[in-house]
């Protein structure tokens, strides 16, 4: 008998297939004491295992490329964290085996982060995965992983670590469902990059029996267990119609009555450019530059290295718009040379622009490299600062851009509610705004963007978040300037229509989402989008907002 479950849809598409569960293994090593004379050998074993796991993560990243590469490189840095390794050494010195020392050191760090409620607590799945890989290597047992299967299936897991998600084979893994995670978790972001339908934050997903047939709707978050023939036919027909609409939709983003809404791509480096070009991106709305700095947490990359990387992306979009975000370090992207090591709550501390203003040489080098990379290219370069709180922040960034001789538009990201509330003030110093809806939601609702338990507050349909978007867009319109969205909210086709109705002037997203958004926008007039936006803002919850907007656009 068909039953329906609902989680959080994070990657568009429909998947129908049999359930396969992520493999598991017992990875808690026995607690036994070793003689003092064996401590040095055990410490060597631990270091070798850590280096091997870090090398494997980097190799997986190189194979996957794009967004996945940056995520896995950051995870490799986590494996080699010097404080964690010092703790491992201390535990081995007082009698632990290498595997037990690693297990206990990671458990202590995990508990510390989770208990303190820090931003990095959202990376617990990543931390657990690193620990499991190191301990498995030391114990000589297989790592838990994606099941072997000759037939396509729907993968079920408690959570998926980036190393697993990055190398999923879309020809075998039709879609995936996780019990934990949130709409902006690494797994969700990588699922969208792969184009694999996915639903997260579904309690009880692990109880679905192996071999059970389920139908997954990655747009609505619905899971149909043992779907009826009628339901399967309905979903398959819907998927086929969507595929046909995507193929037919080409050209610049616009509503059906010709209101232009440029559709841009979020990229994390040159490796993401081919997919963006293939999807018909009209430029880049968010060029994340952290990938250059994560290669070596001890020092910033040289100006020459930065120039080469930036130019590779700028050259791909002649006559197009490329919006570069300067380094956003701190919180889940700590860098030894830039961010404090002892902050009690990095998400609320010296992060983003704050870090750069404390290290003006790093900011100056990056801005100079961007200026030189754009020389002689027919590209519309725009540069924006992350984590702008007020007009003073905006002015400091604009002054730094001018001092570096940057011939580009200077902008501010709206990720802190104060920037939305005082958007007109901020716009006295910069020429555009770009809404980072992931962090804006996090700071608006005091809800860690990686924690599944608070995922409802991370839903970009929350009316309070839509109010902040509207305030920012209204301020930009009043000042005759632009206001785009570069957070994950832009990848939701229905929400893209609402954002357009709120006055947003461009939308930037992962390349895989561009065709979905383009084809959906083309169905509705600007007036319809505006009515849908008003209906969504009048609601009292995210779900009510979504339903209200859908009702307006469907003519109900």
Contact yes or no for 476/482 (Cβ under 8 A): yes
Contact yes or no for 451/125 (Cβ under 8 A): no
DSSP sequence for 451-474: -GGGGGGG-TT-HHHHHHHHHHHH
> Strands 222-225 and 3-6, how do they pair?
antiparallel
Q: Within its chain, how far is the Cα of 9 from the centroid? A: 14
DSSP sequence for 25-75: -----------GGGHHHHHHHHHHHHHHHHHHHHHHHHHH-HHHHHHHHHH
> Strands 482-485 and 198-200, how do they pair?
unpaired
Residue 301 DSSP symbol = P
User: CB within 8 A of 332, min separation 6: which ones?
Assistant: 74, 119, 120, 122, 123, 346, 450
In the three-class reduction of DSSP (H, G, I as helix; E, B as strand; rest coil), residue 263 is classed as strand
Tokens of 226: 């043992």
Interatomic CA distance for residues 62 and 541, integer angstroms? 41
- Marked catalytic residue, from 12, 70, 359, 486: 486
Residue 543: exposure state from Cβ atoms within 10 A (0-12, 13-18, ≥19) = middle
- Marked catalytic residue, from 70, 186, 401, 529: 186
Measured CA to CA in angstroms, residue 228 lies from 6, 211, 551 at distances of: 17, 16, 26
DSSP sequence for 107-132: HHHHHHHHHHT-GGGGGHHHHHHHHH
529 catalytic residue (yes or no)? no
486 catalytic residue (yes or no)? yes
Residue 151: exposure state from Cβ atoms within 10 A (0-12, 13-18, ≥19) = exposed
Tokens of 128: 């657990």
Interatomic CA distance for residues 36 and 24, integer angstroms? 33
The residues that are catalytic are 186, 486
């Amino acid at each position: 008998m068909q039953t329906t479950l609902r989680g959080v849809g994070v990657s568009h598409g429909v998947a129908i297939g049999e359930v396969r569960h992520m493999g598991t293994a017992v990875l808690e090593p026995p607690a036994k004491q070793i003689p003092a004379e064996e401590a040095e050998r055990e410490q060597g074993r631990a270091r070798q295992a850590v280096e091997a796991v870090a090398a494997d993560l980097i190799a997986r990243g190189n194979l996957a490329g794009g967004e996945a590469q940056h995520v896995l490189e950051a995870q490799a840095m986590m494996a080699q964290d010097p404080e964690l390794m010092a703790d491992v050494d201390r535990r081995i010195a007082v009698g632990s085996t290498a595997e037990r020392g690693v297990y206990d050191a990671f458990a202590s760090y995990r508990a510390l982060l989770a208990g303190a409620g820090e931003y990095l607590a959202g990376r617990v799945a990543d931390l657990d995965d690193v620990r499991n890989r190191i301990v498995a290597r030391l114990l000589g047992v297989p790592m838990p992983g994606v099941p072997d299967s000759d037939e396509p299936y729907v993968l079920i897991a408690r959570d998926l670590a980036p190393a697993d998600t990055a190398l999923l084979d879309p020809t075998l893994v039709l879609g995936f469902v996780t019990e934990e995670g949130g709409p902006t978790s690494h797994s969700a972001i990588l699922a969208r990059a792969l184009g694999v339908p996915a639903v997260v934050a579904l309690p009880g997903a692990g109880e679905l029996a192996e071999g059970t047939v389920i139908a997954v709707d990655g747009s609505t978050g619905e899971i149909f267990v043992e779907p009826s023939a009628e339901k399967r036919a309905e979903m398959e027909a819907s998927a086929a119609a969507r595929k046909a609409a995507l193929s037919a939709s080409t050209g610049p983003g616009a509503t059906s009555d010709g209101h232009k809404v440029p559709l841009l791509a979020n990229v994390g480096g040159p490796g993401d450019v081919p997919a963006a070009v293939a999807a018909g991106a009209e430029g880049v709305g968010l060029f994340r530059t952290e990938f250059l700095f994560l290669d070596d947490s001890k020092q910033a990359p040289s100006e020459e290295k930065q120039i080469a990387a930036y130019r590779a992306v700028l050259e791909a979009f002649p006559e197009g718009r490329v919006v570069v975000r300067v380094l956003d370090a701190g919180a889940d992207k700590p860098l030894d040379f830039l961010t404090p090591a002892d902050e009690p709550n990095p998400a609320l501390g010296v992060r983003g622009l704050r870090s750069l203003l404390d290290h003006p040489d790093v900011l100056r080098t990056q801005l100079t490299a961007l200026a030189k990379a754009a020389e002689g290219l027919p590209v519309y370069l725009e540069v924006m600062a992350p984590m702008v709180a007020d007009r003073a922040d905006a002015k400091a960034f604009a002054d730094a851009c001018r001092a570096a001789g940057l011939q580009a538009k200077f902008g501010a990201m709206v990720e802190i509610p104060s920037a939305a509330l005082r958007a007109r003030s901020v716009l006295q110093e910069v020429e555009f705004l770009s809404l980072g809806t992931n962090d804006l939601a996090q700071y608006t609702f005091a809800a860690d963007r990686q924690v599944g338990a608070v995922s409802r507050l991370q839903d970009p349909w929350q009316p309070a978040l839509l109010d902040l978007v509207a305030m920012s867009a209204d301020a930009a319109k009043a000042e005759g300037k632009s206001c785009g969205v570069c957070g994950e909210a832009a990848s939701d086709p229905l929400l893209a229509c609402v954002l357009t109705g709120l006055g947003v002037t461009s939308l930037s997203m992962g390349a895989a989402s561009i065709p979905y958004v383009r084809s959906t926008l083309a169905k509705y007039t600007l007036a319809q989008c505006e009515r849908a936006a008003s209906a969504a803002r009048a609601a009292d919850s995210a779900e009510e907002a979504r339903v209200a907007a859908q009702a307006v656009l469907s003519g109900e």
